[in-house]
Structure 1
């Protein structure tokens, strides 16, 4: 992975963490200090400025004044909070709740339906880029610089839209540095970027989960040009060409009664399949996945395209396995475990090939 991104970036995250005091009154002496983490990308920006002996680091809503160890609002100099620099090991981090606990599929549209083994989002990205069936970055390296440029521009545009322009520029530059490298290094860089705590993976997955929801079809289609090129680079995995078989993955969730009832209904019909339309983060470690939420998904992979991110991620202890978009699932059982006070939803995962999808993009499984 050292070849795919700068050593400085990785070491910054592994050794140093910047934090800001989150108390309602950060200057109060009557309550214990509560410290919140900056996002991974903000941490990279801050630590680079600090290491370069600059007087400040500029973030999207604030800047960090190193002379005073203060976070100061970009629009109001009177809004200040203390900050601190902590040296620690990334392995000390717990499983990130938001990344592994939000609902892996939207329950508003029959669990994503079935579309064959390629997500419609990927198909529409290829159409928008006017790519032929054999034209993937792993098969046609000459298209990589164009894709990286478009991906970087799209990330910046999405960042501006949600007032995260500084984060977006940091991510875009990380990708642009790879323009002359091979597809494996570029894919590793994309995985690393995806593994970081930032707006990028959240925006991408929130968009892709809307596939199949007619009411919000215009939303995910509007993101094809901005998020599509990065999505294609992440999806076209040159390192895991063979499908995963016979592996168990876990993911937590907070489900209400109505959502659990939908899974119970699905379990009654062994022929009913749903599909993951977004990149879905799971853990190979059940104990870690059980830390959060009122529900645990237990997913038995029969045959599906997944990627082990542990060696590439900034959070190797999460034992993250990424399910790629388009993988189908069937609910086999739903029960309540009184010992751990959680609902258990058992699934089998299987890549289901359709005539339409296999003729469209067959080269990935050559």
Structure 2
């Protein structure tokens, strides 16, 4: 079955959904403070909107398109206005958290410590029971299995951090590429990593913990 590539999601990034973060979101006298949804949340919302859904289900809340409000999944009385904004293609949003020091610091430097293969890759090979002949560079048939395993892991991690819906969206996009050329899969992984979501935060944390006694 044909599937959409990550590139098709660029149109969703050019449309930005925002929510009213003001102390009194329904006040007509206060200045409005609009805050943007994360990239993955934005994709989920825009997909639901453009396909004619009445709601977009997110982690912790949902969007009611008819009334243009965000509603808490736990308390329907907790609502905030939302709106859809068209972004200029040259707009650039500074994601400060990507440039701030990571609070998870490695116990020791790992550059050059492990040779050409990192402990992370070794653990993946061990977990999947792969032989040297079954590495993706030598055996293309194992690639779909690795992609499925990665997608499953993303969903599990998403559940742990309260981002199940985000995780499912990321995993679905990755699974759409499981039978594609390896280069297309790498491109998809790079694209998903660049999105603002829990995934890049957790990925950075794991990579920084490589080699520590706690990891």
1:176 paired with 2:165, answer no
Instruction: Give the conservation status (yes or no) of the 8 Å contact 1:4–1:188.
Output: no
Tell me the SS of whatever aligns to 1:200.
helix
Tell me the SS of whatever aligns to 1:83.
strand
Instruction: Give the conservation status (yes or no) of the 8 Å contact 2:20–2:82.
Output: yes
1:5 paired with 2:5, answer yes
Correspondence for 1:110 among 108, 112, 127: 108
Structure-2 separation of matches of 1:103 and 1:94: 20
Q: Show CA shifts across 1:27-80 (max 9, x none).
A: 234431111111111111100111011111111111000011100001100000
Structure 2 counterpart of 1:34: 33
Structure 1 counterpart of 2:184: 185
Tell me the SS of whatever aligns to 1:36.
strand
Structure-2 separation of matches of 1:156 and 1:140: 26
Q: Show CA shifts across 1:179-230 (max 9, x none).
A: 221101111111111111111111121122112221x22xxxxxxxxxxxxx
Distance 1:119 1:80, change over 3 A: same
Q: Show CA shifts across 1:72-119 (max 9, x none).
A: 001100000010101013531133211122239715x23346322332
Instruction: Give the conservation status (yes or no) of the 8 Å contact 2:155–2:168.
Output: yes
Structure-2 separation of matches of 1:53 and 1:159: 27
Structure 2 counterpart of 1:19: 18
Instruction: Give the conservation status (yes or no) of the 8 Å contact 2:16–2:86.
Output: yes
After superposition, where does 1:119-138 map in structure 2 within 5 Å?
A: 119-138=118-137
After superposition, where does 1:179-258 map in structure 2 within 5 Å?
A: 179-214=178-213, 216-217=214-215
Distance 1:29 1:4, change over 3 A: closer
Distance 1:4 1:65, change over 3 A: closer
Instruction: Give the conservation status (yes or no) of the 8 Å contact 1:105–1:111.
Output: no
Instruction: Give the conservation status (yes or no) of the 8 Å contact 1:105–1:112.
Output: no
Instruction: Give the conservation status (yes or no) of the 8 Å contact 1:4–1:189.
Output: no
Instruction: Give the conservation status (yes or no) of the 8 Å contact 1:106–1:112.
Output: no
Higher strand share: 1
Q: TM-score if structure 1 supplies the norm length?
A: 0.54
Gaps of 5+ in 1: 218-366
1:167 paired with 2:166, answer yes
Gaps of 5+ in 2: none
Structure 2 counterpart of 1:148: 147
Please state how far the C-alpha of 1:161 moved relative to its aligned partner: 1.1
1:71 paired with 2:44, answer no
Distance 1:46 1:183, change over 3 A: same
Structure 1 counterpart of 2:56: 57
Distance 1:184 1:165, change over 3 A: same
For the aligned residue pairs, the C-alpha RMSD in angstroms reads 2.1
Structure-1 separation of matches of 2:180 and 2:76: 43
Structure-1 separation of matches of 2:114 and 2:33: 46
